[in-house]
Amino acid sequence: MIRQYSRGYTLVEVLVALVVLLAGIVGIIQLFPVSLEGNREAELRGAAASLAQLKADELRRDSDNFARVIDDIRGRTTPTDPVVWHLDDRLAYSYSGLSTFSPGDDPADPSDDPGVARIIVSLNPTFDPSARVLYELRFDR
């Protein structure tokens, strides 16, 4: 007697293929929230960098007594009260003479030197109670 083989797939093969397909789809779906959070953080940091540069340029452009203003900022040991940025209410900026990222003075690290004017951009405390610092721009005359 000659056996005839069917040319279709068995139920087990179809079920294995579906399990593999579903595992891939679930894996991809789990990456979406991580990707969205990363995009949100990158967008916030980009906006924070733009805000810091804008405020430094405004100080240079608008202040007749720019040197005095810079000296006042350099002398600050605590940041000024945060001001919410009118173009993006998630961000707030302040001025300080000390670094908020590294409060110590490491001789090998010039970014934490005291007495340097800084614009500090953080999350707006009403938007995010952590008010975490996103960007710090050191600037001079």
Provide the domain count of the chain: 1
Whether 127 is covered by a domain: the verdict is yes
Nearest CA to 44 out of 92, 80, 77 is that of 92
Q: What is the largest CA-CA distance in the chain?
A: 105
In DSSP notation, 44-93 reads HHHHHHHHHHHHHHHHHHH-TTHHHHHHHHHT-SSPPPPEE-TT-TTEEE
pTM comes to 0.73
Whether 108 is covered by a domain: the verdict is yes
Whether 18 is covered by a domain: the verdict is yes
The pLDDT of residue 62 is 77
Whether 53 is covered by a domain: the verdict is yes
Question: Which residues span the domain enclosing 75?
Answer: 11-138
Helix, strand, coil percentages for the chain (3-state, nearest 5): 45, 15, 40
The first and second tokens of residue 17, run together, are 């293929």
pLDDT interval class at 60 (50, 70, 90): confident
Report d(CA 120, CA 100) in Å as an integer. Answer: 8
Q: What is the pLDDT of residues 91-113, one digit of tens each?
A: 999 999 888 877 666 667 666 77
Q: How far, rounded to the nearest angstrom, does the alpha carbon of residue 112 sit from its chain's CA centroid? A: 20
Report d(CA 52, CA 60) in Å as an integer. Answer: 13
Q: What is the pLDDT of residues 9-27, one digit of tens each?
A: 888 999 999 999 999 999 9
Whether 99 is covered by a domain: the verdict is yes
